Chain A
Amino acid sequence: MAALDQTQVKEGVDQETVDAVREVSTYKYGWDTDIEMEYAPKGVNPDIVRLISDKNEEPEWMTEWRLAAFERWTKMDEPNWAMVHYPKIDFQDQYYYARPKSMEEKPKSLDEVDPKLLATYEKLGIPLKEQMILAGVEGAEDMPAEGRKVAVDAVFDSVSVGTTFQDELAKHGVIFCSISEAIREHPELVKKYLGTVVPVSDNFYATLNSAVFSDGSFVYIPPGVRCPMELSTYFRINAENTGQFERTLIIADKGSYVSYLEGCTAPQRDTAQLHAAVVEIIIEEDAEVKYSTVQNWFPGDENGKGGIYNFVTKRADCRGDRSKVMWTQVETGSAVTWKYPSCILRGDESQGEFYSIAITNNMQQADTGTKMVHLGKNTKSRIVSKGISAGKAQNTYRGLVSMHPKAKDSRNYTQCDSLLIGDKCGAHTVPYIEVRNNSSRVEHEATTSKVDDDQLFYCRQRGMDEEEAVALVVNGFCKDVLQALPMEFAMEAQQLVAISLEGSVG
């Protein structure tokens, strides 16, 4: 409801009415921040790539790396195998770099950050203060303060605005900063790991990202360290006609542990916007990473106008023996989602888990799932996917489970459940299973169900309105996945499930 925030309210209309109207809009993060921005010229070419590299004050090797990626990208074709349909994207008709003017001089601390930017995150419920608990989380005040800190890296369009708790994390040897800062300050780590999980040549969008990524988060957890707080990055797209290309690199050294959260929102706009991120995670021996996402990009309006096109490559490489990764994602936003957070189970006895809720309503399309590539012996993977479609939406689970010849005695369990609300939406399950040894076991279960009229009537007879009833039934359906989320996110996700499905019945 950007319009309402900016328009002068007519005299005689009381605030209550304005608030009530605002509440009706189902997408709560659709407002925008009026802030002076500087843009790179529209389109992408080697000059733009150099400009981005220059803005980030990068060393030469990084610029070369980007240019090589760009060169490769010009020879690649957009993938078309996913079950998503959208108008052809004109890659020369967007901005690849947009940064608030106030960020030209890099703020030395959070105190120096433009108050308008701080207010934006405050309004999103992510105050950039070093406080003990996330504001607005029900029940949070009853929890012990210890261990409940969350460090935030806030990315606004193309730049990181600030990162909280850096000093405290540094005491433990943990590096948490924007990727641009890491390239400048920790080049040895970035050089060693960047592009080793998602190679520059990986796919069309990852290659584009390698050329033009502007910012993102960097995490390094040293050997044996259990990260003392949750780390999180909040991505906000604000500028119009601008793509966001972030790059996240997480390294969990031997025997370390970290839980990382990612959140994303964007204003409500008529034109679709591109988001093509790459996330790489490296997990060494005996280390464990939990990566949780609540993706709530603007989904477009009920007629499919606007929204974010989300083409994301996320991959974790369990390099060391007994390493573990767990992906949990709640995908409620975006007009188009193309996303397969994957696990390379290279180390012996390494484990990968993927828990996903994908909700599509109105005209949204999602083609999402995971790849579990078993390379090491005794590796284990588990996939729990819950797809919910309402309105005219299409929801596809696409997953690969691959057992290589050396992955002896490995196991996979896959459970894909689809829930349909109404009769104009679709759910599809596309599993690919390859087993190339004779001691591994792969189990796959899939169900499709409809929200049952009897269940809804039962809830309504007890006093819930129709939307509350649907939210309750759907939350029940998603429970296995919601349970895998950190507590703060689980609450948010539950509410998000309800909001995403508003207007889907009746």
Chain B
Amino acid sequence: MLEIKNLHVKLEEEEKQILKGVDLTVEAGKVHAIMGPNGSGKSTLSYVLSGRDGYEVTEGSATLEGADLLEMEPEERAAAGIFLAFQYPVEIPGVGNMTFLRTAVNAQRKARGEEELSAADFLKEVRAKAKSLKIDADMLKRPVNVGFSGGEKKRNEILQMAMLEPKMCILDETDSGLDVDAMKLVAEGVNALRDEGRGFLVITHYQRLLDHIKPDVVHIMADGRIVKTGGPELALEVENNGYADILAEVN
């Protein structure tokens, strides 16, 4: 599904190279986790895949079902099926959460040449999906992420994911700032979306999220490269021994 080959990325404004040759393939139906110390390039990878400004790809490729992601605008990538759950969801004052969701859903449908969802169908769907994430009616009416708690923001990201039904979900440090209960709720939301047609890339610093979202493959990223790949046991190794041992072993 998602195929990244020899991806080299630097900051547009500076010479600093952040990704130094990332190779990664996420198959449909699989959950891949990327772990790694701060500054290893995990978040950069998520931004480059989703098309944020400020990065320059100097080498390599990234494709989704064979389509060249790097040639596309962010909204085209979204319509093609890339979804990024933000580490820091952005506040949009004055724009109701529901309005935002509906605009997004219909924008993607339009881009794919599908009919817009009717108001009634949209409402029915959003209510059902919100309920399972314990998002109440009030939260749907409030402006996007404004005054939301950390947990509410992350649940809201998952609600957007559920509504947009992407092919490839990238979760950037979704566990940051969450207590155990909030994390469980978010993980349940993600697990409900696991499907054989959908791939997941879960970026996390800690292993604890992976107790709830069981990965099929775990990658360790360090200094702009994936340095080790293994099964779920790799996450446990990190949890017990930290990154130092793995990094030492690689070097």
A467-483, CB < 8 A from B: 468, 472-473, 475-480
B84, B100, B111: the one contacting A461 at CB < 8 Å is B84
Extra inter-chain contacts (18) besides given A457-B90, A461-B75, A462-B160, CB under 8 Å: A455-B90, A455-B91, A457-B52, A460-B51, A460-B75, A461-B52, A461-B74, A462-B104, A462-B108, A463-B111, A465-B73, A468-B103, A472-B95, A473-B95, A475-B94, A475-B95, A478-B94, A479-B94
Using A473-B95, A476-B95 as known contacts, say yes or no to A458 and B111 having CB atoms under 8 A apart. Answer: no
- Counting chain B residues whose Cβ lies within 8 A of the other chain, the interface size class is 20 to 34
How many Å lie between the Cα of A453 and that of B89 in the bound state? 13
How many Å lie between the Cα of A478 and that of B51 in the bound state? 28
B4-32, CB < 8 A from A: none
Instruction: Name the CB-closest residue of A to B90.
Output: A458
How many Å lie between the Cα of A463 and that of B82 in the bound state? 10
Decide yes or no whether B86 CB sits under 8 A from chain A. Answer: yes
Q: A462 contacts B52, CB within 8 Å?
A: no
Cβ contacts B50-62/A at 8 Å (1 or 0 each)? 1111000000000
How many Å lie between the Cα of A159 and that of B164 in the bound state? 53
How many Å lie between the Cα of A478 and that of B74 in the bound state? 26
Decide yes or no whether B169 CB sits under 8 A from chain A. Answer: no
How many Å lie between the Cα of A465 and that of B143 in the bound state? 20
Decide yes or no whether B231 CB sits under 8 A from chain A. Answer: no
Q: A460 contacts B94, CB within 8 Å?
A: no
Shortest Cβ gap from A369 to chain B (Å): 21
Decide yes or no whether A464 CB sits under 8 A from chain B. Answer: yes
Instruction: Name the CB-closest residue of B to A460.
Output: B74
How many Å lie between the Cα of A480 and that of B100 in the bound state? 17
Number of A-B residue pairs having CB atoms within 8 Å of each other in the complex: 80
Shortest Cβ gap from A334 to chain B (Å): 25
Q: B78 contacts A458, CB within 8 Å?
A: no
Decide yes or no whether A454 CB sits under 8 A from chain B. Answer: yes
How many Å lie between the Cα of A195 and that of B82 in the bound state? 63
Decide yes or no whether B137 CB sits under 8 A from chain A. Answer: no
Interface size for A (C-beta < 8 A) is 23
How many Å lie between the Cα of A460 and that of B92 in the bound state? 13
In the complex, chain B residues whose CB is within 8 Å of the CB of A459: 92, 100, 104
Instruction: Name the CB-closest residue of A to B54.
Output: A453
Q: A477 contacts B75, CB within 8 Å?
A: no
Instruction: Name the CB-closest residue of A to B146.
Output: A476
In the complex, chain B residues whose CB is within 8 Å of the CB of A480: 94
Decide yes or no whether B107 CB sits under 8 A from chain A. Answer: yes
Shortest Cβ gap from B81 to chain A (Å): 10
Q: A476 contacts B143, CB within 8 Å?
A: yes
How many Å lie between the Cα of A463 and that of B116 in the bound state? 13
Q: B92 contacts A472, CB within 8 Å?
A: yes
Interface residues of chain A, those whose CB is within 8 Å of chain B, are 452-455, 457-466, 468, 472-473, 475-480
B91-128, CB < 8 A from A: 91-95, 99-100, 103-105, 107-108, 111
Q: A457 contacts B53, CB within 8 Å?
A: yes
In the complex, chain B residues whose CB is within 8 Å of the CB of A478: 94
How many Å lie between the Cα of A472 and that of B92 in the bound state? 9
In the complex, chain B residues whose CB is within 8 Å of the CB of A466: 73, 75
B194-214, CB < 8 A from A: none
Identify the interface centre among B52, B99, B108: most chain A CB within 10 Å of its CB: B52
Using A462-B160, A464-B107 as known contacts, say yes or no to A472 and B100 having CB atoms under 8 A apart. Answer: yes
Shortest Cβ gap from B188 to chain A (Å): 22
Decide yes or no whether B222 CB sits under 8 A from chain A. Answer: no
Pick 23 A–B contacts, CB within 8 A, sort by A.
A454-B90, A457-B74, A458-B92, A460-B51, A460-B78, A461-B50, A461-B86, A462-B108, A463-B75, A463-B108, A463-B111, A463-B164, A464-B75, A464-B103, A465-B75, A472-B95, A472-B100, A473-B95, A476-B92, A476-B93, A476-B94, A477-B93, A477-B94
Instruction: Name the CB-closest residue of B to A139.
Output: B119
How many Å lie between the Cα of A216 and that of B33 in the bound state? 69
Q: A464 contacts B104, CB within 8 Å?
A: yes
Instruction: Name the CB-closest residue of B to A453.
Output: B53
Decide yes or no whether B235 CB sits under 8 A from chain A. Answer: no
Cβ contacts B160-188/A at 8 Å (1 or 0 each)? 10001000000000000000000000000
Identify the interface centre among B79, B94, B103: most chain A CB within 10 Å of its CB: B94
Shortest Cβ gap from B139 to chain A (Å): 17
How many Å lie between the Cα of A246 and that of B151 in the bound state? 56
